[in-house]
């Protein structure tokens, strides 16, 4: 079950459970991206005033920390789906788990 480098990754549908898992992580990723944007916009606006520079710096720091959350969401999603696929494949056969898609959430 190896994929050629240019081929489409193999997707095994576990059914409704896989769809629910993917949607949860996608919604979490979208919410995280929206929060990142809000922190950076707020911080940028605060930098127009000398009085708000420190608060703006904190907004940038929080936004930067949220950027670290993004790969954590993707890794957690990948591991979760791999566990689901492993359980399903184990019950059917001893095949290797599929590779994750290149979706950015």
pLDDT tens digits, 76-88? 999 988 888 777 6
pLDDT tens digits, 46-65? 999 999 999 999 999 999 99
Task: Say if residues 74 and 104 touch (Cβ distance below 8 Å).
Answer: yes
Cα torsion at 93, 15, 2, 26 (round to 10°)? -140
DSSP summary character for residue 103: -
Kindly report the pTM of this predicted structure. Answer: 0.65
55 CB contacts (<8 Å, ≥6 apart)?
Answer: 46
Mean pLDDT (the chain) is 80
pLDDT tens digits, 85-101? 777 665 555 545 555 55
Which is higher by pLDDT, 103 or 3? 103
> What pLDDT, on the 0 to 100 scale, is given for residue 58?
97
> What pLDDT, on the 0 to 100 scale, is given for residue 1?
46
């Amino acid at each position: 079950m190896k994929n050629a480098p240019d081929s489409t990754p193999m997707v095994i549908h576990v059914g409704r459970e896989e769809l629910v898992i993917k949607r949860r992580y996608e919604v979490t990723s979208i919410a995280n991206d929206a929060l990142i944007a809000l922190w950076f916009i707020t911080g940028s606006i605060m930098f127009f005033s000398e009085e708000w520079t420190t608060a703006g710096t904190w907004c940038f720091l929080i936004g930067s920390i949220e950027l670290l959350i993004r790969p954590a969401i993707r890794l957690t999603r990948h591991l979760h789906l791999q566990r689901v696929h492993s359980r399903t494949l184990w019950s059917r056969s001893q095949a290797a788990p599929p590779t994750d898609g290149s979706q950015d959430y």
